[in-house]
Structures are given as C-alpha cells and as structure tokens.
Amino acid sequence: MKKILLGAMLIAGSNLFAQDSAKTAAPAPNPFSFSGYVEAYYQYDFNKPADNNRPGFIYSHNRHNEFNLNLGF
C-alpha cells in the first residue's frame, strides 16, 4: 500500500505547470524597491499569571495576554 501511495505521489508531482518566463516580456526594472518582513504573535495563558510572565521555555514566548514582535526586518 505504501509503494502504491508513493508511486501515485511521484506521478502527480512530476506533472507540474509553471509559468514560462521566456514567453512574457519582463517589465522595466524599478530603481527603487522596498521590502520587509514582520512576524508577530499573541500569547494568552489560561492560568492567568499575576505578573504576566510565563516560565521561560523556547525563544521569547513568555509574556501573557500581550502582542509581541518575534522577528522583523
């Protein structure tokens, strides 16, 4: 059964449709570009700690009932 499922996934994945960039004309490059990335999160602890701090575990997810910025550039 596993071999049949793996074979079906390989056959389905081999027939991908991608855009052909050679057929479309590329727009003129813009001399100014702006980009960025922000990853935010909200944490709520149902135990409701009195000082809004949770025990440190992984990364910086230790503040209760608060929006925080995890990564931004």
Q: What is the DSSP string of 14-37?
A: HS-----TTTSPPPPPPS------
Structurally, how many domains does the chain consist of? 1
φ/ψ (deg, to 5) at 52: 65, 15
Position 12 in a domain: no
Domain that holds residue 70: 37-73
Predicted confidence (pLDDT) at residue 59 exceeds the cutoff of 60: no
Q: Which two three-digit tokens encode residue 34?
A: 């702006």
Position 13 in a domain: no
Position 26 in a domain: no
Q: Model pTM?
A: 0.42
pLDDT band, very low/low/confident/very high, at 37 (cuts 50, 70, 90): very high
Over residues 44-54, the pLDDT tens digits come to 878 877 887 77
What integer is the mean pLDDT of 66-71?
Answer: 82
